[in-house]
Amino acid sequence: MKTTMLVAVIAVALAGCQTTQQAAENLRSDWVGQSADSFFVANGPPVTGFPRDNGGQIYTWRGGEATSYRLGSFQTRSVPTQTLDGRRTMTTTTSYQPPRQLNYVCEAQIAADPQGIIESIRISRDTGGMGLSFSRCAELFARD
């Protein structure tokens, strides 16, 4: 009974997780055809902008930047082994995972026409999410 309940809870949690692809679809449906300035007011300024031949701009936008730290940990593992004379024994090994810094970010390339209207959005960089999410971009652009 407990196992069934645990599996159900995990399934519900994972069903709520969005992927980079879903975040990209949300971005496109919400922002293509809208003003790039409106996007930047709502989500923060671009980090770069390059002029296009048609008079528009290609922007690189980066958001959701965060850092967390994972403590170091020891992991002990026992593996059954067999000696040369055929006896079975257990070999125990211990490994250490050092502490590490985890960085989170969502980055998108936004193409706007000469009037500043977004023509396309492409996610160019997406890390895993800070929570149970597979995507930092999905955490930022998820639909409830």
- Choosing among 2.40.128, 3.40.50, 3.30.1450, 2.40.50, the CATH entry for 13-69+102-141 is 3.30.1450
d(CA 78, CA 106): 40
- Residue ranges per domain, the chain? 13-69+102-141
**pLDDT value of residue 13:** 45
Q: Is the dihedral of CA 16, 19, 22, 27 positive or negative?
A: positive
Question: What is the tens place of the pLDDT at every residue in 39-77?
Answer: 999 999 999 999 999 999 999 999 999 998 888 888 888
d(CA 127, CA 105): 6
**For residue 16, pLDDT beyond 80:** no
Residue 28: pLDDT band with limits 50, 70, 90: very high
Please list the alpha-helical segments (H only) found in the chain. 2-15, 20-31, 36-43, 136-141
**pLDDT value of residue 34:** 96
